[in-house]
Every structure is written in structure tokens, then in C-alpha cells.
Structure 1
Amino acid sequence: MSGDTGPFAAWLFNFAFYYPIVMAFLWMTGGLYFYARREHRAPPPDQPPPLPDTPFVSILVPCYNEQSCIVGTILALSAQAWPDFEIIAVNDGSRDRTGELLNGLVPDHPRLRVVHLAENQGKANALRIGTLAATSDYIVCVDSDATLDPHAVRWMVGHLATGPRVGAVTGNPRICNRTTLLGRMQVGEFSAIIGLIKRAQRTYGRLFTVSGVICAFRRTALHDVGYWSDRMVTEDIDISWRLQLAGWDIRYEPNALCWILMPETLRGLWSQRLRWACGGVEVLLGHGAGVLGWRHRRMWGVLAEYLLSLVWAYAMLAIIVLWAAAKFIALPSALHVDTLLPRWHGVVLGIVCMLQFATGLVVERRYEHGLARHFYWVIWYPVAFWTIGMLTAVVAVPRTLFRRRGVRAGWISPDRGSAA
């Protein structure tokens, strides 16, 4: 930014520059504190400490058109190192061979029960149906394209069994597909961004959301808040806020590993991130006011962080619009934007970004070896994912405001790339 930039535009630039830097240091500090206190001396993921009791557990797998991956998911669940559990697969009106494949697995997997729904009614409804069919108070929910680590159930249920006020536990998703640039960047994102943020949020107060792909719930907590809402775009964000507003605790368990597929095309990535952004705005509109009471003060940090992220997105949009408008019309000097080139700001942001990635890799190295070789690819993360994040946040606000209320959120199979 040069001296030719107007005062209002300079304020926008300063906010857009300092906000990600401040948040990066907050995430790093909170993440490292969580690591030092809860992970550094903990046993490795494949050697969980024994529990005094091993209660019966119900594992739910909602699925829709998952013929390419449902068999692998069920096989991984059947191999859980937990003595007593059931698997309930809810076939939500699939139009492919998902139902046929699930029925074929039943004779060889006595723990498996299959519930077939005649029509696709959405993931939230499938989860509710599965919970009603379950026989345990401990409910582990797994996406139908995920491969669960053999000890993941133990790590999550341990929190529920020993903490009576723990309503949910979220696990640690890891990226399978790493053959494209988008896939490799998401390896760094889940390690250095998402994992670090969850650790920091847990340190400072409350979690913004559980990971819908791998999480565990206490049935009584779900009953207390009315289960999942099929009117919300992202049922995982909504249930997280409602549980915490009702006084239930949500924990993050990084040892509960789960291998997932993520979008490898820009179209698929855009659809996924827009859905996440719309879900965040929807929850903000529905529950934001309820967070303001003193009783829910531990959620103020999550609320402030999300609001500031929206302000940042619109600040970036304003900078771009002012710069482009100046090419065609004369703007007041206060609104003049000299250039979009980052100059020294970009160097500082790049250094802080790399520091954050390095911190995430240090923390995550106990869960996965060889992460350092992906360090080069995450250099491109700010360019690609900050741009997508900014645009989806800008689009999500009006899209959510004008979305018809009371309409059931549909469920379509996303672009998940390939593990090859």
C-alpha cells in the first residue's frame, strides 16, 4: 500500500492485513497450549489407555448413492478395536447399488443392521432415524465415504463415558486424496488450519462445530436439544451450537483419526465451501442472539471470530470493487485504492502463514508421518483458499437471508475426488 491510498481504503487494507495475522497467532498459541497440556505426553493413537468400563456403542452410517465406497467404510467399522458395538447403516433412498451392497454385507457382518428409507430425505433425517434404531446411549456418527481408524471409537467414547456433561466429541479427519494440487493443499489445511483452530477454540472456550464426518454424541444430549434439524444446510454446525447453548460440553479428540476424500475440482470445492459458509450464516442468524447472555460467555469468542471473518470477507470485496471502479470513474480521494499488489504486506502474511503451517505440522506429526513433504504445496493455500473463502462468505449472506424458511435441506453426493 502506498501513500496514494485514501484514508478509508487504508482502513480497509489495515483490517484485511492485520485480522489474519492476529487470528493466526491466536490459533498457534491456543493450539500449542492444547498440544502441551493434552497431547504431548499422551499415548500414541494406536495405544489408547484402557477404560474401567467398555459400554455398548452404536455406530451410525447415513448413506446416499455411495456404492463406490460404502463397502470399505463398513469393513473399517467392523474392524474397530472395541468389544461391544453395533453398526446401523441408513440407506437414505439411494438410487444406485448402495442398498444392494449393504444387504450383501449383512450375512458376514452380524453387527450390521441396515435401515432402508424409500425416499431421500436428507442426512439430518437419516441420522435421526438411525438414532431411534440404535440401542446405546453412545452414538458414533461416521460419513459413508470415511475410513475410521481401528481405535477411533475408543478415543471418542472415552470422553462420553467419563464426562457426564460431555454431549459430543469430534474427531480428527485426515485427507486421503493427494494426487492434485487442491488435494495437497487441503492436507495442509486440515493439519495446520482446521486442526489448529479446533485446538485453539477448545483452549479458549467453545468449538464452532464438530466435524460431521466423524463425531460421537450422547443420546440424552441429542434428545435434550431435539436431535438434528433437517431445515439447516449444515446439520453439524447447528447441532454443535444448540448443544453448547443447552449447557453440554463438546470436546476435540485428535487421536480419533478418520481418513476422508475431499473435492479435487474447483467446482466441487466451491459447492462444498459455499454450503459450509451458508451453514455458518444460518446458524449465526438462528442462534447468534442467544449467545449474548452472560451464561454463554464462553461462546463469545466463537461468535466474535465468525463475525470478524464475515467483516474481513466484505472488506476484501470492498477493496477489490474500489480498485476496479477507479479504473472507470473518478472516486473521492478517501476511497482511492492505489493497487491490489500485496507488496510488503504479502511478504509478512506469507511468513506468518508459513509459520502457522509449520506449527500445525509439528503438532500433527504424531498422527501422520511425511507431512513435511506437503509443505511446499501449502504455499499456494492463501491464494486459492482465501479467495474461495472470501467469495463464498460474500455469497452466503444474501443467499441465506433470501432462502425460503422451513424447506428441508436436501442431500446430494459431493465431489470427493479419488484416493488413487
Structure 2
Amino acid sequence: MKTLTVIVPAHNEEHGLPATLRSIAAQTVPPERVIVVDDGSTDATGEVAAAYGATVLRPPRNLGSKARAQNFALPHCDTDLVLAVDADTVLAPDYVERIKPAFDDPDVGVAAGNVQTRFARTPWERGRSTEYLFGFHWHRPIQQLANSPMVCSGCCSVFRRTTLTAFGGFPERTIVEDMDFTWSQQLDGRKAVYVAAAMAWAADPETLVYLRKQVWRWMAGFMQNVRLHLPRLLTRKPLLATWILVALLEILLAPLWWATPVILACTAHEPVARTMGWWAGSELLLTVPTLLYAARRRRLPVRQVLFNLPFVYLNKAVNLYYAWKAMVVELIMVPLRLSSGLLIYEKGR
């Protein structure tokens, strides 16, 4: 049986950390060691971690990113596998048990499970819950069947330690280390795996302020990885490159799709109400069947899932704005040396 160490990077996480550590302690297949990196916290993060029996590491100063904090802990890991868990993420009791068998295949370098939202209290959390339900029950299974996942979620990814250390640790060259490593592994001929049965719940931004920070980091990181990896992916991993190109095309065409009711009303001389009805019907046809399937799989109340659906359009508007901003900054301004891109890691909650 492969051994496993858990790394939890934490900066001012005294309130969220207990639930994370309790979920790790409750694993049906417990880890050999839990390391919490108290990365320059000004609260009681380190004391909380020690109270739950974790090994606490304190860098001499705040390292400034999750990847750097994880790399600070990596030399202290000597197990076969390393599980990186965000300090506000809760794992299902059988998460480790479910995900370990993926590494029976020696070609697997990284694996992650199904991530859903822990809370659905604010409009932004409700919108994110819809995004996750759809994405992890539509996009991820298709990508896994094609052996080309877009990303192994950084809040709960498991890494083969020897592969991770040979790579140089968690990548720090982009602002999103999880996507960078996922694409790099596939470029190197290894596998990234999505394990649908391994469940985790992440705490997502509850306010627009934090949502904007998180989405800007995600979108900028995506474009950084496009700039870094896409040329090689086109020849060495064409199916993964296809998902990326489809995502870019969706970003480019999204404003046109959102404006379609008005365009049709103006060009076809149809009432706006009718064109809006056609547009809304198309949206529902594309999303509701997957959400109903996801609700059944997750044993969620269908009424609640459908109630949360309208809120996803608030999140989509934020996503689109920062996707376009990231595309301009990272794919145009950075190559032209008009910008250095996003370099500062800001927490999303």
C-alpha cells in the first residue's frame, strides 16, 4: 500500500482549518503525516494546526503563493504520494481510499477528485455551486474518458512524490500551479486522472470582492499556461489542445451569444420578449439535463439546484470580464513587453 503525506498551506486560516484537519483525521485510509505550512499568519493558524496533531512548518517570512508554501514542505515528505489540500477544503472520509488506486498505474503523475461547494449562502456561492455541478459532471468526465483532463484541482490533488520532485516541485512560474502541473505531466507523456468518486468540498468566495480576486487569478493563470504550453500541446497532446482552443473560442464568442436576443430583435424584427424566450430556452436545454443528473448523483434536492441556477449568470459575467482581461494582458501585452502579467498571488476568500 502506498504511503501518503498531506500538505496544507495556510495563511490566516484559524477559522477554516479545523474542519479541514478533522476531515483528514477521519480518513478511512489515514495519511502517514500531516504538514501544515503556517505561511506568515498573524492569527492562531499554527496553534490550531498543532492542536490537531499536525507538523507545523513556519517559513521565515510569508512566501507569497500557495506553490511556494507547498514547496517549503516538500523536502519534509518521504512518502510515495503527496496530497495537497487547501486550508478551507473538506475531504470525504473515503477520499484517500478512493484516489490511491489511480496510482497503481505507474504512468499516473497526478490525480484529483470531484470538488463541490461547501456553502451556498450568498449569490456568488450559489452561482459557483451551479458551475461546479455542471463542470464536474459534464466537462471532467468527458475529458477523463479522452485521457486529457484540463486540470487536477489544486485544492485536493494527489501527486506521485518522485515525479513531483523530479519536476522541481510545485510549479511557481505561473499563478495557477495545478493547471501548470496537469498540462506539464501530459506533455511529458504521463497521465493526469480525474477520480469522480473521490469527493471534496471547497469554501468559495462569499463576496464579489473575493470572487473577483479569485477569478482574475484563475483566468490570468489559464492564459499564462496557454502562452507557455499551447504550442507544444498542439503536436504532443492534440486532444488537450482541442479543449483549450474550445475554451478560448467560447471566451471570444460569449459576448456575441449574450447579445444574440438583441441582435435578433434588431435584424429579424422580432419582439425582444420572443428572442429572449428563445435564448433562455436554449440556455436551459444546454444546462438543466446535466444539473438534474448531477443532483441525482449527489443526492441533492432538485428544487435547490434549480433555485441556484439563475445565480450562475452573475458569476459568468465576472468570469467573462476577467477572461477577456487576462487574454489581452497575458496573450497580447506580455509578449509585447507592455505588461509583466499577474505575478502576485491573492487569496480568493
TM-score norm. by structure 2 comes to 0.87
The residue that corresponds to 1:329 in the other structure is none
Distance 1:209 1:348, change over 3 A: farther
Q: How does 1:151-190 map to 2 (within 5 A)?
A: 151-160=94-103, 162-190=104-132
CA distance 1:101–1:337, shift in 2 (3 Å): farther
2:293 aligned partner? 362
TM-superposed CA distance for 1:146, in Å, is: 1.0
Partner of 1:209: 151
Aligned counterpart, 1:271: 213
Q: What is aligned with 1:240? A: 182
Contact 1:60–1:88 under 8 Å retained in 2 = yes
Offset, 1:347: 3.1
Structure 1 residue ranges without an equivalent (≥5) = 1-53, 324-335, 416-420
State the structure with more CA Rg.
1
Shift of residue 342, structure 1, vs aligned partner: 6.4
* Correspondences of 1:218-229 after superposition (within 5 Å): 218-229=160-171
Shift of 1:226: 2.7
Tell me the CA shift for residue 285 of structure 1. 0.6
Q: In the alignment, is residue 85 of structure 1 matched against residue 32 of structure 2?
A: yes
Per-residue deviation, 1:155? 1.0
SS at match of 1:264: coil
Residue 406 of structure 1, CA deviation: 8.1
Residue 200 of structure 1, aligned match among 142, 147, 160: 142
Does the 8 A contact of 1:185 with 1:378 survive in 2?
yes
Match of 1:63 among 7, 10, 13: 10
| Structure 2 contact 175–345 (Cα < 8 Å) conserved | no
The answer to whether residue 84 in structure 2 is matched with residue 141 in structure 1 is yes
- The answer for the alignment partner of 1:31 in structure 2 is none
Which of 412, 415, 418 is residue 346 of structure 2 equivalent to?
412
Which digits, 9 at most, give the CA deviation of each residue in 1:274-297, with x for residues without a partner? 21111111100111111121x322
SS of 1:259's partner is: strand
* Contact 2:214 2:347 survives alignment (8 Å): no
**Conserved 8 A contact 2:295-2:305:** no
Contact map agreement 2:211 2:348 (CA 8 A) in 1? no
In the TM superposition, what is the alpha-carbon distance from 1:307 to its structure 2 partner?
2.3
1:391 corresponds in structure 2 to 321
Q: Percent identity?
A: 24
Please say if 1:119 is aligned against 2:49.
no
Q: Deviations over 1:175-234 (max 9, x none)?
A: 122222322232222112344211122223411111111111112222343322223111
Change (3 A) 1:407 1:125: farther
CA contact (8 A) 2:118 2:203 kept: yes
Partner residue, 1:132: 75
User: Which moves more between the two structures, 182-191 or 132-141?
Assistant: 182-191
1:412 Cα shift? 3.4
Q: Using a 3 Å threshold, how does the CA distance of structure 1 residues 271 and 407 change in structure 2: closer, same or farther?
A: closer
Match of 1:298 among 233, 239, 242: 239
How many residues are aligned here? Answer: 340
Mapped partners of 2:252, 2:342: distance in 1: 29
Task: Give the drift of 1:254.
Answer: 1.8
**Structure 1 residues 215 and 342, CA gap change in structure 2 (3 angstroms):** farther
Deviation at 1:266, TM superposition (A): 1.9
Query: Which whole-Å CA distance do the structure 2 matches of 1:304 and 1:198 have between them?
Result: 16
Distance 1:227 1:372, change over 3 A: farther
Unaligned runs of 5+ in 2: none
Aligned amino acid, residue 186 of structure 2: Q
Measured after TM superposition, the shift of residue 134 of structure 1 is: 0.9
**Higher relative contact order, structure no. (Cα contacts within 8 Å, ≥ 6 residues apart):** 1
Distance 2:224 2:8 in 1: 25
**Range with greater deviation from structure 2 (181-190 or 140-149):** 181-190
Find the aligned partners of 2:138 and 2:112 in 1 and give their Cα distance.
14
CA drift at 1:119 = 1.3
Q: Could you tell me which amino acid in structure 2 is paired with residue 229 of structure 1?
A: P
Q: 1:150 aligns with which of 93, 104, 112?
A: 93
The reply to whether residue 72 of structure 1 matches residue 14 of structure 2 is no
**C-alpha deviation, 1:144, in angstroms:** 0.5
Tell me which amino acid in the other structure corresponds to 1:204: A
What residue is the counterpart of 1:250 in the other structure?
192
